[in-house]
Structure 1
Amino acid sequence: MTTPLEPPAPSGRPTPARPGRKLGPVLPNIGSAHRAWLDPLRVRYLASGLTLSELSTRLRFAKSKLSELLRGAGLYPRWEIVSLLATELDMPSWPLHRLWRQAAFEAHKSSDWIENCTDHTPILTTAPTPPPLEHQAFRELVENDYSLFAQAFLDDEQRDAAVSDTFDILWLSWNDALASHDTRRYSWNVLRATVMSRTPHRDGRPEMGQAAFDTVALRSLKTPDDAMDQITESLELFAAMSRLPAAQLDVMVLRRLCGFLVESTSALLGASLATVRSNERHATRFLNSVLCTPLTTEGNTP
């Protein structure tokens, strides 16, 4: 079972009032890939001030079907209606289509069904449109670091997919990211939700065994015996780390497993140096209370 992606925190702009019945919540049983594109679409609809009746008139599509689409109810929607709705809400089609396509496979749709849905969509027959320049620059700045974080939880293929999805979701909601209190923090929340939606969980906690074979400590060891000892210690550490609160877990993964400086961790998370140091200190105190081999107070790097 996947962990649903939660929409990022609102940007602070008031949501326009609209007449009629309030749109219901997303159904809890939809897949994470479906939710990856549905959440930004809902956010854009709710910010638009349009009603379902107005959209129904403009798109010539039943209001009840639009409501189902925006709640993840009923059958998985065809691309034609998603594309029409996205165009009406002024959303970029290319990242939306990539996420929609991935979710269609998750919903067990065939390649033929997917291709048939897109054959008659003009925008996808032209060259892909590029994301905003600020988005491209931000991606170049943080993509490798995001991959290192994702690697602690996912295999190579899942890691690459999670990071790619993160930047597609950010493209869909880039204006909200820029309007948020801190674009770095907004983006990190999207990455974290995307990674955790793909991460195996046990008793509600993320499993981190994949990271045992690619830690900073392991890469510096010389003999197989040293490596086996370190793997045993690492597995114990990861089991304990999975019990940490989210903010403390993020800091410890970046500091202990990825080897980031505290300043780099602060910049990546969009959190103050004091917050990063506090989270690391509290996490280290907890881990030392449950581990056989105590950790140092500050981590692997200064």
Structure 2
Amino acid sequence: MMPPDPSQPPPGRPGRKLGPIVPSAGSVHRAWLDPMRDAYFSSGRTLGDLSGEVPLAKSKLSELLRGAGLYPRWEIVSRLATLLGLPHVPLERLWKQAALEAHKSRDWVDRCTDSAALTTTHAAAPPIDHRALCEHVEQDYLLYAQAFLPDDLQCEAAVSDTFDILWLSWNDALASPNTRRFAWTVLRNTVMARTPHIDGRPCFSQTAFDTVALTYLTDDEARARQLAETMALFQVMSRLPANQLDVIALRILWRMPTERVSELLGLSPAMVRSSQRHGEHFLRSILYPPETDEGATP
């Protein structure tokens, strides 16, 4: 199980507490750091224990696990992953992306991975149940990503990263009360980390506009009016709470059945219907406020 507070070690662990991930760490860097920190906290080991087997001082190991200092070389990260029992394949993919995000050159990345040349007994393929889940949800995960991310490559990268993060955290996913909910949370966090925001609210992509019926309108004036209404709708949708936004996006933009939305989000059908009902009520209240009767007596 994941610890109650992932920024703090379990009670009784000797030594200094490991601080939180630094704000400057990029989104993909955090994607592999979070599972590594969870594995560290769950292991019961101390930084002193690990520094005896990883060629790093405790202070530098602490920096690595907080995302501080220089971006770590793959040789160190892979060695630490072996000690903590993390699979190397998804970790290496995320490590490479985060290195480029941290402005490391491709040559540096290639030299790091080539020079490591470490053999490992970790499986090169994810667990069967992980693969089954990914195959079952991949296309619909891509649809969700397309509502927020501007192109297919970014959508595919977000879903691929989601599956790699899930592989790294698969034991936690299985131990959670709801594996589907766990997986959806990983997807949502991954997509939102890549989504442009204005005033803290996610922006919808051009793909989302394409899902409405603009293509069926041939009159320029009608198209302009529909586009303005769609922009207003998306601006209000961005104010919805997470569950309501996700349900409304899947039900309105992609016309998914309630049962499929329930399956994807790991929520009961009743919760999906309730989220849709409350979300639609909020949208109507903002977009079509009730008219006031100016002649009414107070």
Q: CA separation of 1:216/1:17 partners in 2, compared to 1, >3 Å: closer, same or farther?
A: farther
- TM-score, L = length of structure 1: 0.88
Other-structure match for 1:297 = none
| 1:194 corresponding residue in structure 2 | 190
Identity of aligned residues (%): 61
| One of 32, 35, 40 as aligned partner of 1:37 | 32
Q: Is the 8 A contact 2:2 2:38 kept in 1?
A: no
Structure 2 length-normalised TM: 0.89
The letter for the 2-side match of 1:275 is M
Q: Structure 1 stretches of 5 or more lacking a match?
A: 1-7, 295-302
Is residue 184–residue 269 contact of structure 1 (8 Å, CA) maintained in 2?
yes
Which of 127, 130, 150 in structure 2 is aligned with 1:132? 127
Deviation at 1:120, TM superposition (A): 2.2
Pick one of 176, 180, 204 that aligns with 2:176: 180
Mapped pair 1:152 → 2:147: yes
2:113 to 108, 112, 118: 118
Aligned residue pairs, count: 285
Q: Distance in 2 between matches of 1:197 and 1:47?
A: 26
The SS at the match of 2:111 is: helix
Distance in 2 (alpha carbons) for counterparts of 1:291 and 1:263: 28
| Paired residue type of 1:208 | F
Counterpart Cα distance in 2 of 1:210 and 1:167: 25
* SS of corresponding position for 1:109: coil
Q: Note the C-alpha offset of 1:187.
A: 0.3
Partner of 2:86: 91
CA shift, 1:223, in A, is 2.3
CA–CA separation in structure 2 for the residues paired with 1:168 and 1:175: 13
Give how far 1:273 is off: 1.3
Give how far 1:11 is off: 8.5
Aligned residue runs from structure 1 range 222-241, under 5 A: 223=218, 225=220, 226-241=222-237
Given that 2:86 and 2:168 are in contact with CA atoms closer than 8 Å, whether structure 1 keeps it comes out as: yes
SS at match of 1:120: helix
Cα shift at 1:274:
1.4
Partner of 1:69: 64
- Assess if the C-alpha contact under 8 Å between 1:147 and 1:160 holds in 2: yes
The structure with the larger Rg is 2
Output the amino acid matched with 1:243.
R
Cα offset for 1:232? 2.3
1:293: Cα distance to partner? 9.9
Counterpart in 1 of 2:294? none
Higher relative contact order (CA closer than 8 Å, sequence separation 6+): 1
